[in-house]
Amino acid sequence: MCLRSIEYFGFKVLNYAPPKAKLFDMQSMDLPDHVLVALRRIIRATDLHSRKLGKKTGLTTPQLVIIKAVGDLKDPTVSDIAKAVSLSLATVTTILNRLERNGLVNRVRSSVDRRRVIVTLTEAGQTLKSSAPKPLQDSFVDRFSRLASWEQHSIVASLERVAAMMDADDLDAAPLLASGEDVV
**Which domains does the chain carry?**
58-131 (1.10.10.10)
Distance CA(36)–CA(180), nearest Å, equals 18
Contact 176, 84 (CB under 8 A): no
| Cβ proximity of 6 and 13 under 8 Å | yes
Give the DSSP H or E segment for 126: helix 123-131
67 contacts 116 by C-beta, under 8 angstroms: no
- pTM across the whole model: 0.69
User: Computed from CA positions of residues 174, 175, 180, 184, in that sequence, does the dihedral angle turn out positive or negative?
Assistant: negative
- Digit-by-digit pLDDT tens for the chain (184 residues) are 455 655 545 555 555 555 554 555 555 668 888 888 988 998 898 888 888 888 888 888 889 999 999 999 998 999 999 999 988 999 999 999 999 999 999 999 888 888 888 999 999 999 999 988 887 878 889 999 999 999 999 999 999 999 889 888 777 776 666 665 555 5
